[in-house]
Amino acid sequence: MKRSNFKILVLSAFAGLALNTISCTQNLLEQTPTVDLPSSAFWNTEADATTALMGAYSAVRPLFDRDYYLDGQSEYVRARGTSTTSGNLRLGDAYNGGNYNPSGYGSSFDKMYMYLFGGVNRCNYVIENVKKMLPTAKATSVPGLELVIGEARLLRGMVYFRLISMWGDVPYFTKIAYADADVATLSRIPIAQIKDSIMADFTYAFDKLPVKATVSGRAAKPAALAFRGKLQLYWACWNKNGWPELDTFKPSAAAATDAYKAAAADFNAVINNYGLALFRNGDPGDWGTMGNADVLPNYFYLFMPAANADPELIMAFTHGGTGSNQGEELMRDFAGRSHEGSQCWVSPRYEIADRYQSTITGDFAAPLIPTNPTVAGARTKLNSAVNPASYANRDYRMKSSIMWDYEMSLGMVSLASTGMCPFIYKSWAATVVINGVSYITYNTDGTNSGYVFRKFLRNYAGQGRSDGNYSWPVMRLADVYLMYAEATNEINGPQADAIALVNKIRHRGNLPALASSKTGDKASFFSAIEQERIIELLAEGQRGFDLRRWRAIERVWCPPYGVGVWRIDTNGANQSQYFLNTSELAYQQCYIFRIPPGERNRNPNLTQNKPWM
């Protein structure tokens, strides 16, 4: 590890101990330290421990709260590039420099590797110091101190889970690292051992955390159970499907079965033991009208501050909003120039539109037809991709998630509204008259698909492009429903309770229940679960990890040395071609990431993953 990285992490954590406990009530936000304290003046009270924990939350938050970039490694989201500014991220930008194309990305996450280990070290700093407080603590303070340790161990488990999901075997340490010498000789530990250690962290957290968090943004028992279940689900997938690129890992069918069962048990407990419910009870709300954004379905508001602290957000990282220097970057990354000068780094690909099913039949609608809008009748042709009427009677999550030609959103400049602006592909900041009203079109030249996102795009003014205060979800109840369905399907095939949960998620899109043909056997139900994961979790950073754990990259693209797959736009133009004549080695490099060469240069004990040798 870099000496400078560890020095910054440790010293900033220590300096942060001078913070007052207002950071708890301000949604775990990192405050600017003003005074350095000697250790003798700290680590004396529960308040000291809690303040230190806030520093750990602040260190771990920027390791997860821009995971939407990772969806670019799948087939339905285009991430134009990387974040080019560190903005509010005190410790730097873990996502900067990454390749977010569907292929060729495994060698470009050296920064994320470094910052993830920085997050581990920050958590260790809290855990080790609070442990030292326990022997002399008052009996009344012990539960509070153990709670702090539990939350820090949950965060550490989350970070290590991400590390093994990307790199497999990695170094594992639980002591505070102050300099290179503390980590310079660490070897990679087999993933099975690390998995057990992560399980121990999640289990300790579950034992010590409250049933319900008292402060927005802090974790409770359902979060620990959900992450423990997710870890076991991934472990089951790796054992079932294999991970040949990790040559130290030996899959076991028996281990897969046991892990699926354990995952299902944890998910079942989350679902049934804590009184949790989907946002607004999973009701779809109203679609509104075509080309109008005054009324939007409930799913849209799940990704607005209206949902902050909602029970569906089982684990979420909070942000401060305007003037805090701790806002989220969602509008900057998802919106265009008409919205506070945003940059549209992330946009939907054309192919996602056909995944939204019919509210009438509950199945896929007739495929959209890419059509050049200059062709006579293009805007009225049946099923034309540039005919707004082609998008009627589809899953309400479509209206909530993407915009097509003539859909409206609220323009914003200098924290004030500029009125509604219609999106018309390739018409950037142009004057257009619609129903006798003059508008300036949405300026977002960052899309090349014919669509832009509505999901995460604010429909109110008053905040800058990087000033949002939405709590980014890293674990949602809807995801738990789908993971439970997946785990139980692997064990027993389609179960009635799992089918009911999938239908609850479909209901928020105003879709009918699954037809019997979709739940008649294990394969059919898995396809239905995958469909819901694509739509429900779009742009939340889940799809790339799903494709890797299912070993489905070749299935959704093409086999090695294949003809490749073009991504197109609503006008019918080819945009980007992926996996053309791609070798087996290049596919293998998508399934496991490269151990950073710089880390290997500093530590000769670090081996390299097989496809990168």
Residues 114 and 180 in one domain: yes
Residues 259 and 372 in one domain: no
Residues 248 and 337 in one domain: no
Residues 239 and 334 in one domain: no
Task: List, in order, residues 6 or more apart from 463 with CB less than 8 Å away.
Answer: 321, 322, 327, 331, 340, 415, 469
Cα(first)–Cα(last) distance of the chain, in Å? 20
H/E stretch holding 79: strand 77-79
- Give residue 584's identity as a one-letter amino acid code: E
Sorting pLDDT into bands at 50, 70 and 90, what band is 31?
very low
Residues 8 and 157 in one domain: yes
Q: pLDDT over 90 for what percent of the chain? A: 88
CA dihedral 386, 390, 391, 392 (to 10 degrees): 150
| Cβ 371 vs Cβ 377: under 8 Å | no
224 is a domain residue: yes
Average pLDDT over residues 187-205: 98
Domain count, the chain: 2
Is the Cα dihedral 327, 333, 334, 338 positive or negative?
A: positive
Residues 271 and 335 in one domain: no
524 is a domain residue: no
CATH value at residue 234:
1.25.40.390
Per-residue pLDDT at 309: 94
Average pLDDT over residues 193-213: 98
Give the global pTM. 0.94
pLDDT(432) > 90: yes
Cα–Cα distance, 390 to 383 (Å, whole number): 5
351 is a domain residue: yes
Domain of 403 in residue numbering reads as 325-455
388 is a domain residue: yes
Residues 11 and 115 in one domain: yes
142 is a domain residue: yes
Domain's final residue, options 238, 253, 275: 275
Which DSSP string do the residues of 213-273 spell out, in sequence order? -SSTT---HHHHHHHHHHHHHHHHHHHHH--TTSTT----HHHHHHHHHHHHHHHHHHHHH
Q: What does residue 85 show for φ and ψ, rounded to 5 degrees?
A: -130, 150
Residues 175 and 265 in one domain: yes
Residues 253 and 385 in one domain: no
Is the Cα dihedral 74, 80, 84, 87 positive or negative?
A: negative
Domain's final residue, options 438, 455, 472: 455
Cα–Cα distance, 267 to 7 (Å, whole number): 39
433 is a domain residue: yes
Instruction: Give the other-Cβ count within 10 Å of 82's Cβ.
Output: 18
Structure tokens at 240: 């079932």
Domain's final residue, options 455, 481, 497: 455
Q: Which position has the higher pLDDT, 208 or 34?
A: 208
Average pLDDT over residues 85-112: 80
Residues 114 and 206 in one domain: yes
Average pLDDT over residues 543-566: 97
| Cβ 508 vs Cβ 397: under 8 Å | yes
Task: List, in order, residues 6 or more apart from 465 with CB less than 8 Å away.
Answer: 329, 331, 332, 335, 339, 340, 341, 342, 343
Per-residue pLDDT at 369: 98
Residues 132 and 232 in one domain: yes
Residues 240 and 119 in one domain: yes
pLDDT(29) > 80: no
474 is a domain residue: no
Give the model confidence (pLDDT) of 466-486 as tens digits.
999 999 999 999 999 999 999
Give the model confidence (pLDDT) of 14-25 as tens digits.
433 333 332 333
- The whole-chain average pLDDT of the chain stands at 92
314 is a domain residue: no
Three-state SS at 433:
strand
